[in-house]
Structure 1
Amino acid sequence: MQNLTELQTNGTSHRSLSVIIKVCVVIPFFCIFLCCIAVMLHIFASQRQFLDTSRYILFAYMLVNDTLQLMTSVLLFLFVMGRVKFSLVYCVPLLLISKVTFQNTPLILATMSLERYIAIIYPLRRPASWRSDRIWIIILSLWFISCIFPVIDFSIGKHDPAVDVLSTPVLCKTAVVNPSPIQTLIRAAVNVLFFAVVAVIILFTYVTILLETRKLRQDKVSLSKAMHTVLLHGFQLLLCVLAFTHPITESLIVLHANWQPEDVAFFNYFCFILIPRFLSPLIYGFRDQSIRGCIRKTFFSCSKKVKPWS
């Protein structure tokens, strides 16, 4: 009996330590991300020229979408880590926002690729819908496409009959709200469809842009920067679309590694959901000369306002 008690105590302490480590890894990254987003959104709001360019409007939209996604996903992560339970009427909206913004991210990245493709290949014949004053039509279309499958999924989902939607506290996870194996299979099929469509669009646009850049015979420095940017974009997009394959990766890791299921889920969450969104400000913001100059001016003006202690 004493050995059993010691085993349970050791298991509980090990889990508590694991939870503390995971929270201490996620929260600092999340705070740094919010600081970067706040600076960039302030720049977009204060600099009119950015709102007159489709590329920067899409970038600002991506920042807002990723902020919503990270806020809901980190909140859900903390609830699960702390074993916080509440009713489905509060859980489903959080899961819905998280799922919609999650699926919206690769669509935005694909749209940004298409925008660069159109700007380079057809600079004088740009379609009206891609102009800065009408880009909101494309943004609304992305939201509509992203909402279709999650809304259908949560609408037809059959939760446990013993769970009352208004009063029964549950862990806020998709597996609890929609436990049906058939729906899990449908979600996996939808994710694969997203992966295929987005991968084809991005591969086509970036290869075409790279070939067009070579035709323009730019200097080696500019070509090197373009290729480096393409590689960074490709790495981020690869991480984003790999998130759609998390049921497969979880199964493979469990089969070939002695990991706990919650550790596998955290690995996928950190590598394929958090990291790509942390890279967004770096790739699209700090590497852009115009935005980088505004960031430098912002920090410089803030440092001048700070008065030294007398």
Structure 2
Amino acid sequence: MKTHCNILLLSLVPESHIYDTVYNTVLFVFAGVAVIFSYISVMIAARSASADKASTQKARDTLLLHLIQLCLILLSTVHSTLIVNISQVVSRLVFIRIMNVFYIFITILPKCLSALIYVLRDHTIRPVFFKYLFCQFGVSSLKD
């Protein structure tokens, strides 16, 4: 057996690959438009609601981090297409490693990013987070 059996690599008829490609492309485009429109709308609302320049800067930075999160979630819509195309080009070992990296960055990271954003920005929670993250080693050097 030269390749491994995977549900992503199986297709019932040649037309199913075309259907999947069209479906994923349309979903990616519509989701991308929704993300961009939502980001612009929230950015305008945050700018108009804040009179303080420092507060506006902080809101902009937070929104940029959420934009990265939404883009990672958007990338998950074409995850299966990417995996199928990559599996045809690279060796099995490299493919498994790429799948593991994709799982971390496309599946797990977007779900944890919101919590990480607010934990790292909050000065009262950040020391406790780092204390438990590093198993209580070197906690005094991590405090602000």
Q: TM-score, normalised by structure 2?
A: 0.61
User: 2:33 maps to what in 1?
Assistant: 200
Q: CA deviation at 1:287?
A: 6.9
Task: Give 3-state SS (helix, strand or coil) of 1:174's partner.
Answer: coil
Distance, in Å, in 1 between the alignment partners of 2:109 and 2:49 is 34
Distance, in Å, in 2 between the alignment partners of 1:227 and 1:249 is 33
Asked whether the 8 Å contact 2:83–2:99 carries over to 1, the reply is: no
User: 1:179 maps to what in 2?
Assistant: 11
Moved over 4 A (4+): 252-255
More helix by share: 1
Determine if the alignment matches structure 1 residue 264 to structure 2 residue 98. Answer: yes
Q: 1:203-242 to 2 correspondence within 5 Å?
A: 203-242=36-75
Change in Cα spacing, 1:184 to 1:269, as seen in structure 2 (3 Å) is farther
Asked whether the 8 Å contact 2:72–2:106 carries over to 1, the reply is: yes
User: 2:142 maps to what in 1?
Assistant: none
Larger radius of gyration: 1
User: Structure 2 counterpart of 1:179, which letter?
Assistant: S
Q: CA deviation at 1:249?
A: 6.5
Q: CA deviation at 1:237?
A: 1.0
Unmatched 5+ stretches in structure 1? 1-170, 297-310
Asked whether the 8 Å contact 2:87–2:95 carries over to 1, the reply is: no
Q: TM-score, normalised by structure 1?
A: 0.32
Q: Percent identity between the aligned chains?
A: 23
Asked whether the 8 Å contact 1:254–1:264 carries over to 2, the reply is: no
User: Structure 1 counterpart of 2:8, which letter?
Assistant: A
Distance, in Å, in 1 between the alignment partners of 2:88 and 2:105 is 17
Change in Cα spacing, 1:184 to 1:278, as seen in structure 2 (3 Å) is farther
Determine if the alignment matches structure 1 residue 277 to structure 2 residue 120. Answer: no
User: Structure 2 counterpart of 1:203, which letter?
Assistant: I
Q: CA deviation at 1:245?
A: 2.3
Task: Give 3-state SS (helix, strand or coil) of 1:175's partner.
Answer: coil
User: 1:138 maps to what in 2?
Assistant: none
> What do you get for the CA RMSD once the two structures are aligned?
3.5
Q: CA deviation at 1:183?
A: 2.5
Distance, in Å, in 2 between the alignment partners of 1:288 and 1:248 is 33
Asked whether the 8 Å contact 1:214–1:223 carries over to 2, the reply is: yes
Unmatched 5+ stretches in structure 2? 130-144
